[in-house]
Amino acid sequence: MRAPVKRLWHVENDLDVRATVIQKVWRGYNVRYRLALAGPGVLRRSLCHNDEDVVTFESKTDQNPFDYFAFEEDGKVWWFDILSILGCLNSSLVPTNPYTRQPLSVDTRIRLRANYKYRIHNRLPLCHQPMAQRNMEELMELQWMKVCQVMHENGFEDVHPNHFMSLDNNQLVVLLNYLERDTNSLAMDHPKTSKRHRWAAAIKRECLNFNQIPHGKYRVPSLLTSLFNSMNDPYPFCFVLMSALYRV
pLDDT (tens digit, 9 = 90+) per residue, 157-200? 999 999 999 998 889 889 988 988 888 887 776 666 567 777 78
**For residue 14, pLDDT beyond 80:** no
Are residues 103 and 197 both part of a single domain?
Answer: no
Are residues 90 and 161 both part of a single domain?
Answer: no
Q: Is 52 helix (H, G, I), strand (E, B) or coil?
A: strand
pLDDT value at residue 192? 60
pLDDT value at residue 230? 87
Are residues 90 and 165 both part of a single domain?
Answer: no
d(CA 229, CA 118): 9
Please check whether residue 112 is in contact with residue 95, taking contact to mean a CB–CB distance below 8 angstroms.
yes
84 located within any domain: yes
Are residues 241 and 142 both part of a single domain?
Answer: yes
Are residues 205 and 241 both part of a single domain?
Answer: yes
Q: Which residues, other chains included, contact 199 with Cβ-Cβ below 8 Å and sequence gap of 6+?
A: 183, 187, 227, 230, 237
**For residue 35, pLDDT beyond 90:** yes
Q: Pick the last residue of a domain from 56, 91, 121.
A: 121
Please check whether residue 216 is in contact with residue 147, taking contact to mean a CB–CB distance below 8 angstroms.
no
48 located within any domain: yes
pLDDT value at residue 9? 67
117 located within any domain: yes
**For residue 12, pLDDT beyond 70:** no
6 located within any domain: no
* Long-range contacts at 138-143 (CB < 8 A, ≥ 24 apart): 139/218, 140/165, 140/217, 140/218, 140/221, 141/165, 142/90, 143/218, 143/221, 143/222, 143/224, 143/225
Report pTM: 0.84
205 located within any domain: yes
d(CA 138, CA 144): 10
Q: Give the up-direction half-sphere exposure of residue 177: CA atoms within 13 A in the CB hemisphere.
A: 9
154 located within any domain: yes
Are residues 104 and 56 both part of a single domain?
Answer: yes
216 located within any domain: yes
Q: What does DSSP say about strands 68-73 and 76-81: parallel, antiparallel, or unpaired?
A: antiparallel
Are residues 141 and 228 both part of a single domain?
Answer: yes
Where does residue 14 fall: left (phi above 0), alpha (psi -120 to 50 degrees), or beta otherwise? left
4 located within any domain: no
Are residues 111 and 148 both part of a single domain?
Answer: no
Are residues 189 and 161 both part of a single domain?
Answer: yes
Q: Pick the last residue of a domain from 121, 145, 173.
A: 121
d(CA 39, CA 41): 7
Question: N- to C-terminal Cα distance for the chain?
Answer: 64
Are residues 144 and 172 both part of a single domain?
Answer: yes
**For residue 213, pLDDT beyond 90:** no
Q: Give the up-direction half-sphere exposure of residue 191: CA atoms within 13 A in the CB hemisphere.
A: 0
Are residues 79 and 160 both part of a single domain?
Answer: no
Number of domains in the chain: 2
Residue 210 belongs to what domain range? Answer: 136-247
